[in-house]
Structure 1
């Protein structure tokens, strides 16, 4: 279902694998067959019979035994690729600078650094006081903290104003339920306080003792409450500050860049609301910035005595920037600063003392605009030359600076962190991602952006990268990736692991289909709710275009998507199986109707504005018409590799498990159908940087072996 930034970064590096007629995998091994235990599910007078509903009993030993049987089958069928997997893992690992260090950033008297040491999976967070020549203070060595855990994730690192305390969240189960703890950075002591069932995020008030955080509902995992913890007090004494009772909303808290305000946010898919309180008055009462109005979205930034609001107010579909005094925050006081534009999506802003930086998107590409406060007519855009690329502002915590830090990359250009002087227009590349091994040269690859025509005449952009000497004769293996939900834009990004495919003759394509926000807010609106099928037909039309233009052929075309992109894969498999030789579906959201009818499942109620509420018959009927699990049919299917995590909190493991069981029962051919369940992980897969590579290597070995590529 809906991704976090971490999820999206993880899946940007993982690629589809599938079978072809060249495969030598052992099809004589007996497939697992799930027991049929019919359960009738009735809604709106319609009865659906689910033969595998019993698989949702996580603690049932029969369920666990079936999942383990599927894992055994997967391992036996792919046993001959294990050595190749190891070789690919070492190859991908060899491109990574193991002793890597982030570009330091300065905040409140300290330089903060994240670094990795050779041979270790997890980051080390450190800081230096005043100057980069100062002694290093190690705040957290995650390699030590992760020693006794199969999964480990540290998040929400947050330093108090006096630089003495660090609040942080730890997840050791991979269900995104973090336990917040506090470390005294002066003594090195991790205090006994443990705040469980949280999002991991927190923020300090200006008094250095009041810590605000969001807690999750134990069953649904919806972030529904904001608490205040006071240093020295027992957690049981924590004060409930806000309870978000609307089940379609989640809530969080943060501190404004100006450090003046604590801000509580409440958001659903299409509505937002904020509450503010001066950080110097943590015992005060939060006031509503602008009460929620269905369909009104806004976000707030504070500077001097004003708030700056990015909003869709007044039917500003692509959003606009408004300003209001901090003493008059309701919408009747908001004034336009940057008006709405039909062809430009306003994605966000960064505020500095002398400059306003605006992140925009038009014609499907990101752009960064620099606008001096005193002379707005002297505004200019950062120049970018590639045909397809992504640019984004990064860590910019200092108001009083003329330096903007931003990132840049393309599908053939490694990512760079750049400091740009907004006054002199000089730029300094602080770091460019190193690709080790001595074989990579970006001049050896071609990047393209082409446009497919959808069924309804809409032009759909596709970003491509491939080796320069490749011939467009239909014989090339091509991996087509897409997501297409929640307005998440799929950027044309660089990947070192992708080189293992490109250098073996693959083309890699990102289809920027509707449901994302790649071409503006309308692009999203036309790919959700009762227009969701545009997402699926766009992807299929992109595939047909790539075949027609001789980039590939159905014998060599592979599709990949994860989570809501796994839903996309499921629909594509049912509707156009003949176009693909193989499909990868990672943590796929495929049982749409059943999941969206079960409000006890994490995240369900908050998804109604994305998919619709099936308690209403119109949405029920529409969802059922495309839900992959409900529409599995007796037909030939491509070769399939399906992966999931047993502890997944976003797409429960039983969705792919039930889907595989039903596909086994109904498909009319004997192509491979594999389910690979990580019994230790959740939605984002393995937690260590090298453990994650092993998951990619499994998929790559599968794909390359089936293409007849053995080394």
Structure 2
């Protein structure tokens, strides 16, 4: 609906029928009128969702031209025919490319050469968009694989060590149930091996005869690591490890030197590693540190002086984590007797996120001053008084994100990704021996993008309890601080996930319309270290919601924003935040966009049979066994706290095949909102019937999804037209 739409032209929303059922826990009974919408195979459910889509289309028809304009802006700024920077593995350079008009990427490689000149041998070949690459071999064309299928997504790619085989996983429904296939890269033919219903992650054994993969249980929890021997029946695949604790997540990776299979079992609070020596036939899994020690850690093997050690990134007496070096033989002793050598000490101001190794160096991922960056240490002298200080690639901007993109074990360089709110993604090669940075690519933004026309700055809002909340505030440089500008506030705030600085072509469409775009780094995320996360989880979860409202109040007081023209947006757990904020302060927002929103959290987490529910206990608490957790969640879970209030314009966007946040949650929430609201603003539900947690597949389909969400918000804010720049 647009501001000009006459009231009598607004269609009537579909009314979900009521079929009350009771849910009783800890002496509390909740009557749920819309739980029947969970019956995914019920024709009445699909009919209702179809009717909701028709209503949404009718209500937002006036935004169609705006959506098309935003989509075109995204498309016209994007280099559609493009290539990634080739990355070397053994005797090949691997890269992906996209072509104009095609939805999906194409995976390719060209042969590498070894001349003995390290600088030359590790300088990627020049690849130019639109120009054929001499000697190119197409490994996988997503466009061909997706033909005739409603959905297409890859869940993993792996190339054997000798470069002769490619394993990949394909999803054609959006439910993250992948099929594993193996391609002979010499003949181009698929092998007869095919494994259905696998999860993310693949890996070849060093000799290329076996493929490791994971399997989920009925609640969509990865619980098994299995191995398929090529040429044998799938029924004979061996279960290498099975995790029966419903609150633990299982995954695996191959060590950097490809000598060990590392199986990780854990939660956000503690973990356990099982390792398998791949160089010794008949070797069995061994445990490094038992979960009973309640240590959260990651492990990577490394040989120093011919002795096997493990680099541990851990939180043992280190809330923000630290790095230690431990000889492999130490793990046979009780923990209290083990000798651990400190490599990176604990620092209250620095969060250590992980470590990777090459043959010569240790590469650290750390977060300081809210931003993520990379540090490098030479393995020579590691853990001794001769250990050198870590080197850190230097960049000019303050609000940046720098990550390790690739670190092949034998490579003399590591590859870094770099971006900021105003700088498009860059790829650098960092020479380990000298610290030299070589810029390999900066993503081109078409249409005359000029970063000096925009400002990205850090502001600090004060929460009700006095905590200072970091905000990233983006705006056009020519906006006036006169309290007249529209704003969109975005946040996530869960699972220690940080909303790091990053460039967005799509976001320019909002900024160019004069919208101040704000990322609120609320508690529950990881921007300010482990304590920041802990202050926004379990019985502190409400801080996430009140932080968002306090951030909004700060913006109003800053003089940049019109209090009558503020929209809010968030997805998944950030969608729960949107639902909570709608109940807390509906009067502060002109519109709310809730993407795949986790708004019926208590119902979901009370049922351990539902997908991923048991894994959520570490984040929210266990309301099944703990009456205090139940009471606390009952006070904020959005669906159960909808009240008689004048709710703003709300769009709930979901996918029918989402396995992480089921469509039923926003469907129930929208029905309840419509029943309780005392206002006249439309509340709509948009369901992608062939999509998953990330929406529809394909880059053009994703751009259309973003354009829809942005148009909904911009229309509500009265910011539909691009304003000319004063410096033009």
Q: TM-score interval w.r.t. the shorter chain?
A: over 0.9
CA distance in 2, matches of 1:660, 1:188: 49
Match of 1:285, SS state, is coil
C-alpha root-mean-square deviation of aligned residues, in Å?
A: 1.7
Match of 1:83, SS state, is helix
Match of 1:492, SS state, is coil
Give the counterpart of 1:318 among 320, 327, 335. Answer: 320
Contact kept? 2:2, 2:60, Cα under 8 Å: no
Q: In structure 2, what is the equivalent of residue 111 of structure 1?
A: 93
Q: In structure 2, what is the equivalent of residue 410 of structure 1?
A: 420
Structure 1 residue 485 corresponds to structure 2 residue 494: yes
CA distance in 1, matches of 2:668, 2:281: 49
Match of 2:563, SS state, is coil
Structure 1 residue 220 corresponds to structure 2 residue 224: no
Distance 1:26 1:294, change over 3 A: farther
Structure 1 residue 516 corresponds to structure 2 residue 509: no
Distance 1:546 1:257, change over 3 A: same
CA distance in 1, matches of 2:588, 2:246: 40
Distance 1:710 1:486, change over 3 A: closer
Q: In structure 1, what is the equivalent of residue 544 of structure 2?
A: 535
TM-score by length of 2: 0.92
Q: How does 1:231-270 map to 2 (within 5 A)?
A: 231-270=230-269
1:282 Cα deviation from its structure 2 partner: 5.9
Q: In structure 1, what is the equivalent of residue 76 of structure 2?
A: 94
Contact kept? 1:24, 1:706, Cα under 8 Å: no
Match of 1:183, SS state, is strand
Structure 1 residue 428 corresponds to structure 2 residue 438: yes
Q: In structure 2, what is the equivalent of residue 594 of structure 1?
A: 603
Return 74-83 or 680-689, whichever deviates more: 74-83
1:328-348 CA-to-partner distances (Å, cap 9, x unmatched) read: 335424322211111111112
Contact kept? 1:416, 1:429, Cα under 8 Å: yes
1:465 Cα deviation from its structure 2 partner: 1.2
Distance 1:197 1:334, change over 3 A: farther
1:692 Cα deviation from its structure 2 partner: 0.3
CA distance in 2, matches of 1:390, 1:345: 14
Contact kept? 2:670, 2:683, Cα under 8 Å: yes
CA distance in 2, matches of 1:445, 1:359: 29
1:509-546 CA-to-partner distances (Å, cap 9, x unmatched) read: 11111101100011111110111111111111101000
CA distance in 2, matches of 1:27, 1:513: 40
Contact kept? 1:168, 1:201, Cα under 8 Å: no
CA distance in 2, matches of 1:337, 1:639: 53
CA distance in 2, matches of 1:700, 1:450: 24
Contact kept? 1:207, 1:280, Cα under 8 Å: no
Q: In structure 2, what is the equivalent of residue 4 of structure 1?
A: none
1:426 Cα deviation from its structure 2 partner: 2.5
Match of 2:583, SS state, is helix
CA distance in 2, matches of 1:710, 1:319: 46
Contact kept? 2:358, 2:408, Cα under 8 Å: no
Match of 1:348, SS state, is strand
- Count of aligned residue pairs for this structure pair: 689
Give the counterpart of 2:355 among 325, 349, 355. Answer: 349
Which runs of 5 or more structure 1 residues have no equivalent in the other structure? Answer: 1-18
Q: In structure 1, what is the equivalent of residue 383 of structure 2?
A: none
1:556-580 CA-to-partner distances (Å, cap 9, x unmatched) read: 1111000000000011000111111
CA distance in 2, matches of 1:199, 1:407: 27
CA distance in 2, matches of 1:25, 1:67: 24
CA distance in 1, matches of 2:398, 2:493: 22
Q: How does 1:34-53 map to 2 (within 5 A)?
A: 34-53=16-35
CA distance in 1, matches of 2:451, 2:5: 32
Contact kept? 2:297, 2:312, Cα under 8 Å: yes
Q: In structure 2, what is the equivalent of residue 54 of structure 1?
A: 36
Q: In structure 1, what is the equivalent of residue 329 of structure 2?
A: 327
Match of 1:460, SS state, is strand
1:617-659 CA-to-partner distances (Å, cap 9, x unmatched) read: 1111111010000100001111101100000100000000000
Q: How does 1:599-638 map to 2 (within 5 A)?
A: 599-615=608-624, 616-638=626-648
CA distance in 2, matches of 1:202, 1:474: 52
Q: In structure 2, what is the equivalent of residue 552 of structure 1?
A: 561
CA distance in 1, matches of 2:142, 2:456: 37
Contact kept? 1:256, 1:302, Cα under 8 Å: yes
1:260 Cα deviation from its structure 2 partner: 1.0
1:155 Cα deviation from its structure 2 partner: 2.5
Return 37-46 or 195-204, whichever deviates more: 195-204
Contact kept? 2:106, 2:142, Cα under 8 Å: yes
Contact kept? 1:346, 1:360, Cα under 8 Å: yes
Q: In structure 1, what is the equivalent of residue 715 of structure 2?
A: 705
Task: Select the structure with the greater relative contact order (CA < 8 A; seq sep ≥ 6).
Answer: 1
Give the counterpart of 1:339 among 338, 342, 345. Answer: 345
CA distance in 2, matches of 1:204, 1:474: 58
Contact kept? 1:41, 1:48, Cα under 8 Å: yes
Contact kept? 1:20, 1:582, Cα under 8 Å: no
1:164-219 CA-to-partner distances (Å, cap 9, x unmatched) read: 111111111111111111111111111222211211322111232122211111x2
Contact kept? 2:155, 2:199, Cα under 8 Å: no
Distance 1:563 1:378, change over 3 A: closer
